[in-house]
Amino acid sequence: MSRAPLEKFGGLFRLDGRVALVAGAASGIGRAAAQGLAAAGAITICADLNEAGAEETASDIRQQGAAADGLALDIADQASVSGVVRQIADQRGRIDVLVSTPAVNVRKPLLSYSAEEFEKVLRLNLKGSFLIAQAVGRVMSEQKRGSIILLSSIRSIVVEPGQGAYAATKAGLVQLARTLAAELGAAGVRVNCVAPGVVETPLTEPIKRNPDWYNAYASKSALGRWASVDEMAGPIVFLASDAASYITGTVLFVDGGWTAIDGRFQPPV
């Protein structure tokens, strides 16, 4: 029986020398993603509307011996996106990984929404993700390689009162990713979504301040707790790496079992 050399599997999760752009790297899941990609060997471009925060993330990575830059980026502004993507491509010669994390939520019933509030959620969550995926997708299509990772949510398939606009954008992201996967697959570009459950980030800080709300969400998952942002880094690195070389057009739920169970209470069975 022939034996496959084990060393061919040793580097599956490594990203050495690859250029990774992380939008939303100043905090939360974006910051953890940047750190995880850097730990796997990527040259990490930390971008955010909060330029000081992006540079802080990049500086922290550099202090630990990895390569990173910090940049200002507004993913909802086409000129900003085009300029940053062009700058990275010119300076680094390529973009191998894109992780796009920025999102906003206005928690209120749909009948109480203003048009301006709806536009605010749509502009960042869906339009912004489209703009940066499109711009980076063009670069990756030319270089015949790349991995695009968009941040969806469990709200793409399950919802509750007050989450309507946010859920609509997160469901839209899934179809955006699937379409890009179909259109860019022939060029060797993979496109996927990570769909977190409840994660302790600045976006969910209002919930954390309400113990009843916080505990109700914790009890809904199979694991009975919230996720930390660090627990999102591994799945993102996986989808960016060659370990996921045949995975595209899919959604990886990182939700502690939220969408798998009806975990509100333990029935007497």
Residue 57 has phi, psi (to 5 degrees) of -60, -45
CATH, residue 44: 3.40.50.720
* Segment 112-156, tens digit of pLDDT: 999 999 999 999 999 999 999 999 999 999 999 999 999 999 999
* Segment 192-208, tens digit of pLDDT: 999 999 999 887 888 88
Q: What is the pLDDT of residue 2?
A: 58
Task: With respect to residue 266, please indicate whether it lies within any of the assigned structural domains.
Answer: no
Number of domains in the chain: 1
Q: Let me know if 166 is a catalytic residue.
A: yes
* pTM of the complete model beyond 0.75: yes
Give yes or no for a contact between 189 and 148, defined as CB atoms under 8 angstroms apart.
yes
* Segment 65-77, tens digit of pLDDT: 999 999 999 999 9
Q: Of 166, 214, 217, 246, which one is the catalytic site residue?
A: 166
* Segment 150-197, tens digit of pLDDT: 999 999 999 989 999 999 999 999 999 999 999 999 999 999 999 999
Sign of the CA dihedral with 47 first, then 133, 189, and 239 last: positive
Lowest mean pLDDT among 8-12, 33-37, 104-108, 197-201: 8-12
Task: With respect to residue 160, please indicate whether it lies within any of the assigned structural domains.
Answer: yes
State the residue range of the domain holding 226. Answer: 15-254
